[in-house]
Amino acid sequence: MKTLLKNGRLIDPKNGIDAKRDVLIEEGRIKRVGDTLTDKADTVIDASGKVVCPGLIDMHVHLRQPGYEYKETIETGLRAAAKGGVTAVCPMPNTMPVADRRSDMEFMIGEARRLELINLWPVGAVTLKQEGQELTEFGELRKGGAVALSDDGRPIVDSNIMRRALEYAKKFDMAILAHCQDEGLFCGGCMNEGLVSTRLGLQGIPAEAESVEVARDIQLADLTGGRLHFCHISSRKSLDLIREAKARGSKVTAETCPHYFHLTDEAVLRYNTYAKMNPPLRTAEDVAAVKKAVADGTIDVIATDHAPHAEGEKDAEFDKAPFGIIGLETSLALTLGLVREGVLTLTGLVRMMSQKPAEILKMDRGHLSEGAAADVTVFDPELDWVYEKDKIVSKSKNSPFLGWRLKGRATDVWVAGRCVLRNGELVKHG
């Protein structure tokens, strides 16, 4: 089975390529990359006008299975990811029960294998039941397929537990993905603390609830030499700290999500629960700082924090609605917005959405070298479309971007040489 992608603009940051190239896929691998390939193939695809890049990796999603299958399942989540041009996702362990054992990793990976959609690389919990008290068995989780460790959704309050986790994870060369939140300052808040929270009478979460813990974790990363990755960074203050730490040589990496560079806390006005997430949407100043950090490399990764919630859950009083929005099907288009704004190059986009996540997770992906696994995304950066509720693949529809006119969309996706998206439509297998 051979597939030949012709005339596309190949962007492969790791190999320093941004040029028109043909790509030949054979036996699930990249067989050859060249100026003009004339090999005979079972399928020849004309990718002119499109970008061909290593498959996008979303290292921060919530697939809700097991436990919350009414919000999302591994199947619906992976389908949504494929639709969004993503070839690998890292589901966070805050399922029910919490994914804190090897068998939980194996269950998720097994489901993904059975479904033959895209790669699922699970994240194991740092502490048992994510309670922040006792470490999980990192070694067993690793053997079960965990690519990183996180208590995402909850901060690790005890600094000593965080210290030990960073230290112990060194043995397995795994990153700790930190959800930074000072519980005291968070104080049961439900949106950014500022003028808007004052107007709406909603309990605010100051930006410092994030940055105070970022500061602590930088120090713990320095102390331990462990690999620390900051999840969903939302505020200028955190970014200043991370920039400074990186300049000093700290081994930290950071991610942000498209909503943090597209929306401010004003999206919450009229008590819009689709604009409720944690960390919360912040101010215009923070949005500008996130863009700057994307541009200057302070932020390494763009992930979605895809957090599905059923309609009835978001249709509630603002303070009672759950945090989180879905993002798998919009992240590419929303990040392409930054490319059009001049914040990011296309190479930068591919680096942040594919190469860097692979490096942090120590997965041999994120590049299209000859011989590499053929996880490939093809997208049309100019395609206009409207994000409509009834076309969403994810089981949940909780997005503040509903109704937005977007530009740029994945058209074709291969995972290990197997086509899962063709002309923008999911390919049915079996």
Partner 1 sequence: MSERAAVESPDKKTAQWTRKDLLSLEELTREEIEHILVTAESFKEVSAREVKKVPALRGKTIANLFFEPSTRTRTSFELAAKRLSADLVNFSSSGSSTSKGETLRDTAKNIEAMNVDTIVMRHSSSGSAEYLARSIRAGVVNAGDGIHEHPTQGLLDIFTIRERKGTLAGVRVCLVGDILHSRVARSNIWGLKKLGAHVTVCGPPTLIPPHIEKLGVEVCYDLNKAVESQDVLNILRIQLERQKGAFFPSIREYAAEYGITRDQLRRAKPDVIVMHPGPINRGVELSSDVADGPNSVILDQVTNGVAVRMAVLYLTTLVER
Instruction: Determine if 264 is a binding residue for partner 1 (CB under 8 A).
Output: no
Instruction: Determine if 364 is a binding residue for partner 1 (CB under 8 A).
Output: no
Task: Pick between residue 185 and residue 376 the one whose CB is nearest to partner 1.
Answer: 185
Three-state DSSP string of 364-424: CCCCCCCCCECCEEEEEEEEEEECCHHHCCCCCCCCCCCCCEEEEEEEEEEECCEEEEECC
Amino acid identity, position 428 = K
Instruction: Determine if 285 is a binding residue for partner 1 (CB under 8 A).
Output: no
CB 383 within 8 A of CB 255: no
Instruction: Determine if 195 is a binding residue for partner 1 (CB under 8 A).
Output: yes
- What is the H or E stretch that residue 109 is in? helix 102-115
CB 332 within 8 A of CB 409: yes
Interface with partner 1 (CB under 8 A), residue from 16, 247, 249, 270: 270
Q: Is the dihedral of CA 286, 155, 349, 222 positive or negative?
A: positive
Our CA angle for 13, 305, 336, nearest 5°, is 45
Task: Pick between residue 77 and residue 279 the one whose CB is nearest to partner 1.
Answer: 279
Instruction: Determine if 271 is a binding residue for partner 1 (CB under 8 A).
Output: yes
Interface with partner 1 (CB under 8 A), residue from 317, 390, 428, 430: 317
Distance of CA 405 to the CA centre of its chain: 22
Instruction: Determine if 204 is a binding residue for partner 1 (CB under 8 A).
Output: yes
The percent of the chain in helix, strand and coil, each rounded to the nearest 5, is 35, 25, 40
Task: Pick between residue 191 and residue 410 the one whose CB is nearest to partner 1.
Answer: 191
CB 154 within 8 A of CB 126: no
Instruction: Determine if 40 is a binding residue for partner 1 (CB under 8 A).
Output: no
Query: What gap in Å lies between CA 2 and CA 21, rounded to an integer?
Result: 17
The region of 37-45, 88-96, 122-130, 315-323 touching partner 1 under the rule CB under 8 A is 315-323
Instruction: Determine if 202 is a binding residue for partner 1 (CB under 8 A).
Output: yes
Query: What gap in Å lies between CA 392 and CA 403, rounded to an integer?
Result: 12
CB 377 within 8 A of CB 5: no
Interface with partner 1 (CB under 8 A), residue from 318, 379, 401, 414: 318
Q: Any catalytic annotation for residue 305?
A: yes
Instruction: Determine if 200 is a binding residue for partner 1 (CB under 8 A).
Output: yes
Instruction: Determine if 197 is a binding residue for partner 1 (CB under 8 A).
Output: yes
Task: Pick between residue 320 and residue 405 the one whose CB is nearest to partner 1.
Answer: 320
The region of 7-15, 187-195, 225-233, 351-359 touching partner 1 under the rule CB under 8 A is 187-195
Q: Which residues contact 62 (CB under 8 A, 6 or more apart)?
A: 72, 91, 92, 94, 305, 306, 307, 308, 324
Cα R_g (the chain), whole angstroms: 20
Instruction: Determine if 235 is a binding residue for partner 1 (CB under 8 A).
Output: no
Interface with partner 1 (CB under 8 A), residue from 1, 284, 316, 386: 316
Task: Pick between residue 123 and residue 268 the one whose CB is nearest to partner 1.
Answer: 268
Instruction: Determine if 428 is a binding residue for partner 1 (CB under 8 A).
Output: no
Amino acid identity, position 187 = C
Task: Pick between residue 172 and residue 271 the one whose CB is nearest to partner 1.
Answer: 271
User: Which of 100, 305, 380, 412 is an active site residue?
Assistant: 305
Tokens 């699930």 identify what position? 28
Task: Pick between residue 107 and residue 318 the one whose CB is nearest to partner 1.
Answer: 318
Instruction: Determine if 1 is a binding residue for partner 1 (CB under 8 A).
Output: no
Interface with partner 1 (CB under 8 A), residue from 248, 320, 405, 428: 320
Instruction: Determine if 199 is a binding residue for partner 1 (CB under 8 A).
Output: yes
The region of 126-134, 170-178, 303-311, 318-326 touching partner 1 under the rule CB under 8 A is 318-326
Q: Which residues contact 320 (CB under 8 A, 6 or more apart)?
A: none
Residues carrying an active site annotation: 305
In the complex, the residues that contact partner 1 under the rule CB under 8 A are 193-195, 197-202, 204, 270-271, 312, 315-320
